[in-house]
Amino acid sequence: MLGPRIPLVVCAAALLLAAPTCVTAGSRSETNPGEATGPGDPQELAQFMDGFMAGHLAQLHAPGAAVVVVKDGQILLAKGYGYADLEQRRPFTAATAFRVKSVSKTFTAAAVMQLSEERRVDLRAPVRSYLNGFRLPDGNAPAINLDQLLTQTSGIGDRAVGTLTPDRIAAADLRTYLAANMPPRIASPGTVFSYTDHGISLAGLVVEQVSGQPFARYMHDRIFGPLGMDHSAFDPALHGQVDRAVGYQRVGGSYRRAPVGYFHVGPAVSLVTTAADMGQFLVAMLHRSTAEHSLLRPETIQLMEARHFALQPAGPGVAYGLYEWPQNAERVLLHGGLGHGFSSLLALLPERHVGFVIATNSDEPDLRWAFLRSFIDRYYPATHAAPKAIADSDLGRFAGAYGDYRYEGRIEVLKELLSQGQITAYPDRTISLSWTPGRWVQVAPLVFRNRDDPNKEVAFQAQAGGPVTRVLGGDHPDDGLVKLPWFSTLPFFGVGVLFFAALFLSACVVWLASSVRRLRRKAGAVPFQHAMTLGGVIALLNLVFLLGIPILLLPYAGLNGTELDFGVPLSIQLVFVVPLVTVVLALPLAVTAFQLWRTRSWGLWPRAHFTVVAAGSLLFPVFLSYWKLFGLA
């Protein structure tokens, strides 16, 4: 990880050095400056784009797409492809409105930089000083600042369930939502990369508080209006728009309309715009807007685009609202957006004064990355050298299970469990990452490069002289995962679930068999019969919980769980109440187990089994608590 970051005044003075340093650190190929002139002829660019879309649009599962490319202050191409609405066969054009999802974060970062430029905020000052009594979680912990919010290093966690609403007015009340729903901190600020919609939304709240305007109004007055982005907004009505793309998700090989709603975390994900409008933003971000309609001063844009955080100096870094993702030795800054039926990618090549945005009305992500590779390979070709491995005697320290660690919600935790990945070390001094193809070679301390695609890098974080703790990068620049101890892995969780399921099933069988036996013999109640009945009821309820959760969540799997973003259905909420009830009922079981041994009632094996069931009933909520599954949903 980089050392303590220097003050802004020093950073601004060093900007001319910062960008070349970042390019060198990420260099992985050689280019010929005489050949790499970039796109220049709009007609040639259109032919290239038409050919790319003809070969990739359907193959990579996008009903429609739009792209805009700018260079040297000019929009070279703004064009749509395919369909914005499959049912109506309405074409996707440069004027079609679409969600850009997390590309919204780059706009929020630009708004913060405007306030910084006007000296209305200090990027290093505690963010609470701008929030007028707003209370952050863990208020006594180290203060969070805007620099950390814009680099996703605030240490604030995240949540997805409950962030979507059909109520446009409720979604606009950013302060009320964040005050009630800000996730807890998961790390000390400034130490790790942790992607969070709520952190960026907190930066949006600062924009509201300092400007005295609702966030969406500020964005309209200070960014969209001056840049001529007349068809862009953070709070548009999502129903009744004539030329708005329909978002689709692929379910079972066919397209299905994605849920439509308004996001409580608007500054992070809510922007609706067009390809033509995005062209104006790209021009402004590349220092080429006119003086009377400028977004930021050139030195402020340079500061925004400079590297401010990295796990390792030689690995990819983070700017304000943008990520470094070098391609063919070109310093590329980008931000992607994905979900709820849309996929997008904003990319800037600041040294080339070139940028593009590509967006699709499908949440299949591959088309945007395929276009990035094709665009760079065509206009900035390079000869790739095979990654040269450095000596490392212990690649095994990188091996193990890795998982997301941002979420606290019950449903999100289950998704985290199912999406854990594995890193494997091999004798040929390479490693593999289960979530992305290829073998990886260590090219610098704690930095690996893909042997088959040298444009891809991952960087690790490790304790001083100690074990590896985190990894960042891979297929996407914001892929951040934490290394998990063996007892936090999916197999261990699965073993635990099977153990408790078998235990509770055995208790149900014993209870049922005992009841049937008594009915057949017409015998009276055995000593402590009430305890056996209670144990059976507890076991049955716990089995209902273990079976009910996957059964109730299964219908939401087809849409990647996005319908749950509106909130947890009552049926699932009720199932999560079950362990809260059974843990209370289990307390008498422990007392009864003690009495059984004291009085030597029942036989040895029934007594032992009952004791194990009683202990398991008390340990079950402990097990669930460790996995963050105990409590209301």
Q: Looking at the structure, do residues 494 and 479 belong to the same domain, yes or no?
A: no
Q: Residue 244: phi, psi to the nearest 5?
A: -120, 135
Range of the domain at 529: 489-626
pLDDT for 522-531, tens place per residue? 655 556 778 8
Whole-angstrom distance, CA of residue 348 vs CA of residue 352: 9
Instruction: Provide the 3-class DSSP secondary structure of residue 492.
Output: helix
Instruction: Provide the 3-class DSSP secondary structure of residue 176.
Output: helix
Whole-angstrom distance, CA of residue 245 vs CA of residue 233: 15
Structural domain tally of the chain?
3
Q: Looking at the structure, do residues 406 and 501 belong to the same domain, yes or no?
A: no
What's the token pair of residue 585? 């009922």
pTM for this prediction: 0.89
Contacts of 211 (CB under 8 A, 6+ apart): 115, 120, 218, 222
The CATH number of whichever domain residue 71 belongs to comes to 3.40.710.10
Residue 302 one-letter amino acid: Q
Residue 185 one-letter amino acid: R
Q: Looking at the structure, do residues 511 and 534 belong to the same domain, yes or no?
A: yes
Looking at the domain assignment, is residue 1 inside a domain?
no
Q: Looking at the structure, do residues 190 and 329 belong to the same domain, yes or no?
A: yes
Looking at the domain assignment, is residue 456 inside a domain?
yes
Select from 352, 384, 416 the last residue of a domain: 384
- Please choose, from the candidates 566, 579, 559, 403, the residue with its C-alpha nearest in 3D space to the C-alpha of residue 492: 403
pLDDT for 36 equals 67
**Which regions in the chain score pLDDT beneath 70?**
1-36, 139-140, 288-293, 522-527, 558-561
Q: Give the up-direction half-sphere exposure of residue 113: CA atoms within 13 A in the CB hemisphere.
A: 28
Whole-angstrom distance, CA of residue 92 vs CA of residue 90: 7
The maximal CA–CA distance of the chain, rounded, in angstroms, is: 98
Q: Looking at the structure, do residues 339 and 447 belong to the same domain, yes or no?
A: no
pLDDT for 525 equals 53
pLDDT for 289 equals 56
Q: Looking at the structure, do residues 322 and 406 belong to the same domain, yes or no?
A: no
pLDDT for 7 equals 39
Q: Looking at the structure, do residues 417 and 372 belong to the same domain, yes or no?
A: no
CA distances from 271 to 259, 277, 321, 333 (A): 16, 12, 14, 19
pLDDT for 420 equals 93
> Do residues 286 and 70 touch, judged by C-beta distance below 8 A?
yes
**Chain centroid, CA 107 distance in Å:** 18
Looking at the domain assignment, is residue 3 inside a domain?
no
Q: Looking at the structure, do residues 548 and 441 belong to the same domain, yes or no?
A: no
pLDDT for 290 equals 55
Q: Looking at the structure, do residues 123 and 56 belong to the same domain, yes or no?
A: yes
CB atoms within 10 A of CB 519: 9
pLDDT for 17 equals 34
Select from 342, 359, 384 the last residue of a domain: 384
Whole-angstrom distance, CA of residue 135 vs CA of residue 306: 31
pLDDT for 179-238, tens place per residue? 999 999 999 999 999 999 999 999 999 999 999 999 999 999 999 999 999 999 998 988
Whole-angstrom distance, CA of residue 25 vs CA of residue 324: 11
Q: Looking at the structure, do residues 326 and 401 belong to the same domain, yes or no?
A: no
Whole-angstrom distance, CA of residue 489 vs CA of residue 495: 10
Whole-angstrom distance, CA of residue 420 vs CA of residue 68: 36
Select from 460, 484, 508 the last residue of a domain: 484
Q: Looking at the structure, do residues 498 and 479 belong to the same domain, yes or no?
A: no
Whole-angstrom distance, CA of residue 35 vs CA of residue 381: 8
pLDDT for 37 equals 83
Instruction: Provide the 3-class DSSP secondary structure of residue 436.
Output: strand
> Do residues 345 and 336 touch, judged by C-beta distance below 8 A?
yes
Whole-angstrom distance, CA of residue 631 vs CA of residue 579: 8
Looking at the domain assignment, is residue 63 inside a domain?
yes
Beta strands in 280-413 (DSSP E): 309-310, 317-318, 323-324, 333-339, 342-349, 354-360, 383-384, 400-403
pLDDT for 368-396, tens place per residue? 999 999 999 999 998 777 778 887 778 99
* Burial 191-204, CB ≥16 within 10 A → b, else e: ebbbbbbbbbbbbb
CA distances from 598 to 440, 594, 601, 602, 605 (A): 62, 6, 8, 11, 15
Q: Looking at the structure, do residues 141 and 239 belong to the same domain, yes or no?
A: yes
Whole-angstrom distance, CA of residue 610 vs CA of residue 612: 5
